[in-house]
Structure 1
């Protein structure tokens, strides 16, 4: 007997919110307490904290402050434990930190009605999000990003990931966090290179979506370099808003297609991070990747020389080093292999996002390798490595 096939479809609505504050765990700040109490009020919610060691080093009283805050609000929340993990991209390599988070979730009996709280830069938030997503097939996550890059880009997305097989973000999940809380007080202790590097993601989204936003960045380039908090907070807010809008309204939040416009400049960035053993910060590599792709766009006639130089000048004014870590022919060939690796990561047709003007996204499906080599040489000639 031939039985008919069975087919059903269903939709799942996702909602997550991004909050902005200063001094989140100060006793008088009620944001965190309200967020937890609004979720569940009939018993205290268990909380397990995972903290970036760079954050702990710059804020040595943070763990004690968190404990005191939870104790003061014991009718709403229950502090179970906190662990400290290494910061930076290396935390996404290997299983040690993932296992530490999973062990903490298990031993502290964190269930689907408890919360894992990730406090740190984008790499730590990626790793903790991945562990939270696979434990019990998903426990609730609150992200507290502490760098410019994580506040304006990586922590506001729906992706969680770690590296494997010498490829960035090879393992991962799509799992929206319960909430993201950006606390500007963490930015004040950033090293200068971390303050600057996150601006590259704002430049990226401005170049593909919003000419007026790029104009704002250009006009405030020196102020941003000089750590003026007001324009930085606006850049973070605007970039995060555009990022979240793209995820919710762009039609492909879980990247089932072959186009990923928010990864403009990233095919080269990901490869350069690996080639430098992650000595390059992600934002620094993205700046170089953007510089390379706009140079290529100029060589193909997509943008004018005036626009190219304006983009490069803005990035230099902010403080980016735009030279590429590829001087030998072997390293150039290695970098170019990143194009195919980028296609493999999504599958399907190669789709590289370029621009056809300030704020004008333009996708291409082939790359002229000879012309891309010329772009590499042109960029390295203009910003010669010492």
Structure 2
């Protein structure tokens, strides 16, 4: 008997949408209702809400608004429970919060035709998405991000994760959400740090993909710092659009290869977050990582001194502190160890995205640790002189 290998291939089409809203749970706002009705309009759909405690603190009427909205539309929306959990990176640092969400899914009989609705910053949305993806091999997820960074970057992708073994995003899944809804009202109560830090992800995609977008960010740097609504909405929209286009058109939505241009600046950012016990916001760490990698790009001759100064000037005008919190050779070496950890996370060949011009990415497969050390020293010396 000839037992030849049986080979088969198949493709699966994924569709998801990013919506924009203001006052999502006001009774006259039909967006959320229509999203659920578009899925099923002949019976009520079960909904489990998981809400960031910090968001509830800034919007104390939110839970009652959700309950009232679902009650008024009870023929379509079956509100089971609203879990309120701590947000921030602590929600991702163990499986504790995942277990709470899984318990909520189980006890409320949330099935694959029900929805988990995550409301909060990028960390809690990451964690809730991971729980939703592993429950019943995947229950449907709606993301309602509440920070600049989550509205323009982390919540618009297809990744979900928690940190484990002291490594960023060690446990995770690729599972596209059913929908994402950006409600601009949530941005009004952000601390200044959180308002600014999310702009780092827009700077990231502009530097590697779109020179004109970086020019827009440059021209509006002070307006962004001063919390002007219109330029921030454009930055969020453009960044999210570019992010989603990369996922759908980049040829590797589930990152099976080694090149991940949207992780520009992230090898150092992930390590800096851990080294500072997550006292740095993710966007603040990304800004520092970008600053380091463009400095290194100059060190190896990829970009000019004037381009380097221009990029750093735009970032500091927005309000970023680009000093690296490294006070000894031991700390520098700890940061550099993040390069190998990044390669391990990607698997296969090391691929670090740099730039060869503003708007043009340039992948490299090795890092000169001596020159990277010089880049660290050059960057910190540059800003030490300005203090």
TM-score by length of 1: 0.99
Work out whether 1:355 is the aligned partner of 2:362.
no
CA–CA distance in 2 between the matches of 1:327 and 1:152? 33
Matched ranges for 1:285-304 at <5 A: 285-304=285-304
**1:381: how far off?**
0.8
Aligned match of 1:92: 92
CA–CA distance in 1 between the matches of 2:270 and 2:144? 24
CA–CA distance in 2 between the matches of 1:87 and 1:46? 24
CA–CA distance in 2 between the matches of 1:113 and 1:91? 26
Alpha-carbon displacement from aligned partner over 1:286-337 (angstroms, at most 9, x marks no partner): 0000000000000111001110000000000000000001120000000000
- 2:27 aligned counterpart, secondary structure: coil
Work out whether 1:69 is the aligned partner of 2:69.
yes
Work out whether 1:39 is the aligned partner of 2:33.
no
Work out whether 1:317 is the aligned partner of 2:328.
no
4+ residue segments displaced more than 6 Å: none
Matched ranges for 1:1-386 at <5 A: 1-384=1-384
- 2:333 aligned counterpart, secondary structure: helix
Alignment length, in residue pairs? Answer: 386
Q: Which runs of 5+ in 2 are unaligned?
A: none
- 1:36 aligned counterpart, secondary structure: helix
CA–CA distance in 1 between the matches of 2:383 and 2:341? 26
- 2:20 aligned counterpart, secondary structure: strand
**1:2: how far off?**
3.6
CA–CA distance in 1 between the matches of 2:185 and 2:330? 44
- 1:38 aligned counterpart, secondary structure: helix
CA–CA distance in 1 between the matches of 2:97 and 2:383? 37
CA–CA distance in 1 between the matches of 2:218 and 2:350? 31
**1:241: how far off?**
0.1
- 1:267 aligned counterpart, secondary structure: helix
Q: Which runs of 5+ in 1 are unaligned?
A: none
